[in-house]
Structure 1
Amino acid sequence: MNPLWLIRMKRWVQNPPSPARIKLVAAIIGVCLLVFVLERIFGWPAALTPNDLRGMR
């Protein structure tokens, strides 16, 4: 583990983030997980899949 991570963890223990910051981070992680689950259930849309560009060279 990088020593800078240990220093960062020490600072977080001494000055923990506010409850609002924790809620914000949890909400962002929740949205990312929701998008991941929806992609797994419904699949990736064909319109967002790039075309094969190897033949254009």
Structure 2
Amino acid sequence: MNPVWLLRMVRWLRRPPSVARVKLVLGVVAACLVLVAVEWAVGWPEALEVHRIARP
């Protein structure tokens, strides 16, 4: 593991993030999971698919 990550972990343990920041991060993660679930259940729109154009 990179020593920089160890220093970040120590700094995070000494000064943990605020409750508002934790709620923000959890909200963003939840929104991403909802988008993935909707995409999985409904499917990808055909208008957004990539179709190759045949070259003459």
Within 2, Cα distance between the matches of 1:37 and 1:19? 27
Structure 1: state its 5+ residue gaps: none
Give the structure 2 partner of residue 10 of structure 1.
10
- Which has a greater percent of helix? 1
> In structure 1, the residue corresponding to 2:44 is in which secondary structure?
coil
TM-score when normalising by structure 1? 0.87
Residue-pair matches, total? 56
Give the structure 1 partner of residue 20 of structure 2.
20
Q: Percent of pairs identical after alignment?
A: 45
Within 1, Cα distance between the matches of 2:55 and 2:46? 20
Within 1, Cα distance between the matches of 2:52 and 2:43? 19
Displaced runs of 4+ in structure 1, greater than 4 A? none
